[in-house]
């Protein structure tokens, strides 16, 4: 039995050098004088090329992974804000090269406030204790250092709006032409860098394989079968992964909408059951005619008619203190104040809820953020102290607001400012339980979004398929242009689908993966809830029909035809109304004239004549100045002397 020797003895060089496909092998040149163990220069060159190609392929693959950071291995947390969750807060200012705090640069210029807000989001990434913190767990000390007044004011300005600045997600025109012209918010804008990287890798691989095309073609024979099987597995796994990711995104969106809806339910039911001042329309004497139904308020508190009358006489009836020139039903003043307080607690609860599981609004939970809420009139100082001193985690303070809402409802109902039976109270509490379950489900979904092993195998399958495509294209005899271009196309679609799935796993854009151009807009959800907190209260501020007419069955003024009036009837009604107004003016003018005629003329009082006899006697005693004998030819000096004489004698 022959002993195993040098492998080069068993595999001479002419076994490694093959001729063109379908031709006989080309013999290796004559070995040199160094002996049998030496190889020809062609074999050495070929082996060096194989080694070099392997090294280059490994380096290119590593570079690709570095350039396109995978979201499932990145501890970064992004701080984008409104719509898409906002153009403002997608801006990031780069710091010194040695600092990794600000690693992403926005697409547009932004003010210093927006850049500081982005600085907060990027700095928070370094403090991440795990690879992924979908439920925001950045250390409070780091958040406090970055929460500046400018950042907090920007957050509060967007969080107190009652009109959304942008839709909750990017809207689109379903026409194909419009969709093809889009770039921002599409998956192409996310994956084009990865596609360019893979095209460069494919170009390097194709160049190396071209050095010894025939040999590689023989060694890669049947490679397309392996690639096709992996492609099938990858396609199925990737599409299923995308479907599961979209399900999580849709669930989070549904939880946010249901939370908003149940808050609206609370505001609507409270507005409908708040006590009201009802005007009385019956004809009574002026001294007994009240402006409002005072018994209504007393009966709401369980008082008897006698107690109600006594309360009205003593001036304790809240309705007596309210002016209502329109004579419509309005809230009592205590009920209105309760509704306003309930609306404010609802807004604060919604704001703190989103701040608990999103990175964009987390600075509001810091001590600086709570104090700034007091300065901006969102909280009172007492409320801030109660929230800060309570023995609950910072991210659970919204639970306290929910309890405040429940307790305020119970106290208002006990005081008689909210009507309703025990069934209404049970329904209100049930709505509060649903609210708790909805915001709790959001955190649960984010905490258990996807197992790591599932995401890992999908990432590996996608990368392997894309790396193997140049070899498959080369083995199938494709042209270099088609092989390189196909690598980019496959990257755009397969890697694009995987990137899309990763974005679905981050519905509130808490991570820095991708551009985050189309997440759920938190500011829009908050603004819509803010508007809903006062919508129902303002909607029932005045009621056109009054309780007194309902009790007496006098509803004729509110009865209208089923299909309204026809055009002819409308013209007739307008003409009748015009004639009625004209007749009313004539009657008013006639009444005014009659009033003028009936008014007696004023009495003319003759002035009393004083007795002037005594005055005449006194005047006769006064010496008068003799002016009849004055000479007309007096000089000026003589005339002045005469005037002085007369002046002295005038009394």
Mean pLDDT of 18-39: 44
Residue 577, token pair as written in the block: 């109304």
Mean pLDDT of 10-35: 42
What are the DSSP E strand ranges found in 267-379?
276-277, 329-331
| Alpha carbon distance 470, 206 (integer Å) | 7
pTM beyond 0.75 = no
Find tokens 């809240």 and name the residue: 318
Q: Which residues are within 8 A (CB) of 641 and not within 5 positions of it... i.e. 6 or more apart?
A: none
| Alpha carbon distance 580, 584 (integer Å) | 6
pLDDT classification of 345: cutoffs 50, 70, 90:
very high
pLDDT classification of 47: cutoffs 50, 70, 90:
low
Mean pLDDT of 343-349: 96
Summarised one tens digit per residue, pLDDT across range 501-529 is 998 998 988 876 766 677 888 999 999 99
Q: Of 414, 443, 595, which Cα lies nearest the Cα of 507?
A: 443
Better-scored residue on pLDDT, 536 or 103: 536
> Of the ranges 110-114, 348-352, 482-486, 564-568, which one carries the lowest mean pLDDT score?
110-114
What is the structure's pLDDT at 610? 58
Domain ranges, ordered by start, for the chain: 8-18+39-56, 71-251+450-520, 253-284+327-445+530-550, 285-323
Summarised one tens digit per residue, pLDDT across range 227-283 is 889 999 999 999 999 999 999 999 999 999 999 999 999 999 999 999 998 887 655
Better-scored residue on pLDDT, 85 or 613: 613
**Strands of the 542-543 sheet, one edge to the other:** 276-277, 329-331, 542-543
What is the structure's pLDDT at 480? 86
| pLDDT of residue 17 exceeding 60 | no
What is the structure's pLDDT at 584? 92
Query: What angle, rounded to 10 degrees, do the helices at 188-209 and 480-490 form?
Result: 150
* The dihedral formed by the CA atoms of 451, 453, 458 and 461, expressed in degrees to the nearest 10: 180
The mean predicted confidence, pLDDT, of the chain is 74
How far is it between the farthest Cα atoms of the chain? Answer: 187
Beta carbons of 491 and 195 less than 8 angstroms apart = yes
What is the structure's pLDDT at 49? 58
Better-scored residue on pLDDT, 297 or 510: 510
DSSP string, 587-643: HHHHHHHHHHHHSPPPPPPPPPPPP-HHHHHHHHHSPPP--TT--TT--HHHHHHHH
> Of the ranges 102-111, 178-187, 334-343, 519-528, which one carries the lowest mean pLDDT score?
102-111
Beta carbons of 83 and 167 less than 8 angstroms apart = yes
């Amino acid at each position: 039995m022959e002993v195993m020797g040098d492998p080069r003895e068993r595999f001479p060089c002419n076994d490694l050098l093959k001729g063109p496909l379908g031709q006989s092998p080309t013999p290796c040149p004559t070995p040199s004088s160094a002996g049998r163990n030496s190889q020809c220069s062609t074999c050495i060159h070929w082996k060096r090329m194989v080694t070099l190609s392997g090294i280059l392929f490994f380096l290119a693959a590593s570079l690709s992974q570095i350039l396109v950071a995978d979201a499932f291995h990145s501890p970064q947390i992004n701080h984008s804000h409104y719509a898409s969750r906002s153009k403002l807060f997608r801006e990031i200012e780069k710091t010194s090269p040695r600092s990794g705090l600000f690693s992403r640069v926005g697409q547009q210029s932004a003010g210093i406030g927006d850049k500081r807000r982005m600085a907060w989001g990027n700095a928070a990434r370094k403090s991440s204790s795990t690879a992924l913190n979908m439920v925001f767990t950045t250390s409070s000390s780091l958040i406090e250092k970055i929460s500046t007044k400018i950042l907090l004011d920007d957050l509060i300005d967007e969080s107190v709006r009652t009109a959304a600045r942008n839709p909750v997600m990017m809207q689109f025109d379903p026409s194909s032409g419009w969709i093809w012209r889009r770039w921002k918010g599409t998956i192409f804008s996310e994956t084009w860098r990865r596609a360019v990287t893979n095209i460069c890798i494919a170009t390097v691989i194709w160049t190396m394989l071209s050095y010894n095309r025939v040999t590689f073609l023989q060694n890669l024979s049947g490679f397309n079968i392996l690639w096709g099987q992996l492609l099938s597995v990858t396609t199925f796994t990737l599409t299923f992964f995308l479907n599961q990711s979209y399900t999580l995104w849709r669930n989070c969106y549904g939880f946010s909408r249901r939370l908003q809806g149940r808050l609206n339910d609370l505001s609507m039911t409270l507005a409908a059951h708040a006590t009201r001042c009802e005007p009385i329309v019956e004809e009574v004497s002026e001294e007994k005619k009240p402006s409002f139904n005072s018994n209504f308020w007393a009966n709401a508190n369980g008082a008897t008619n006698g107690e109600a009358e006594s309360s009205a006489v003593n001036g304790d009836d809240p309705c007596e203190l309210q002016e209502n020139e329109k004579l419509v039903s309005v809230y009592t003043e205590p009920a209105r104040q309760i509704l306003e307080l309930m609306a404010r607690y609802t807004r604060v609860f919604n704001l703190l809820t989103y701040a608990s599981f999103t990175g964009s609004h987390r600075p509001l939970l810091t001590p600086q953020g709570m104090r700034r809420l007091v300065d901006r009139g969102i909280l009172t100082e007492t409320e801030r102290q109660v929230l800060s001193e309570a023995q609950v985690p910072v991210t659970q303070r919204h639970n306290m607001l929910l309890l405040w809402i429940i307790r305020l409802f119970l106290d208002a109902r006990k005081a008689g400012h909210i009507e309703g039976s025990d069934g209404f109270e049970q329904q209100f509490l049930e709505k509060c339980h649903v609210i708790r379950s909805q915001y709790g489900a959001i955190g649960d979904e984010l905490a258990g979004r996807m197992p790591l092993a599932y995401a890992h195998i999908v990432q590996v399958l996608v990368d392997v398929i894309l790396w193997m495509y140049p070899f498959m294209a080369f083995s199938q005899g494709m042209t270099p242009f088609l092989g390189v271009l196909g690598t980019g196309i496959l990257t755009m679609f397969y890697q694009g689908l995987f990137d899309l799935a990763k974005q679905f796993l981050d519905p509130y854009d808490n991570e820095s993966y991708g551009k985050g151009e189309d997440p759920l807009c938190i500011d829009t959800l908050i603004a819509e809830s803010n508007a809903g907190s006062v919508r129902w209260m303002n909607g029932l501020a005045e009621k056109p029909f009054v309780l007194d007419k309902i009790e007496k069955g006098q509803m004729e003024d509110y009865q209208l035809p089923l299909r309204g009036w026809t055009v002819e009837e409308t013209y007739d009604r307008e003409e009748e109304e015009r004639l009625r107004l004209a007749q009313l003016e004539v009657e008013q003018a006639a009444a005014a004239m009659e009033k003028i005629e009936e008014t007696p003329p004023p009495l003319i009082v003759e002035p009393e004549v004083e007795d002037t006899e005594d005055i005449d006697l006194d005047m006769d005693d006064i010496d008068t100045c003799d002016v009849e004998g004055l000479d007309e030819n007096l000089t000026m000096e003589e005339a002045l002397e005469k005037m002085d004489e007369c002046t002295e004698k005038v009394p």
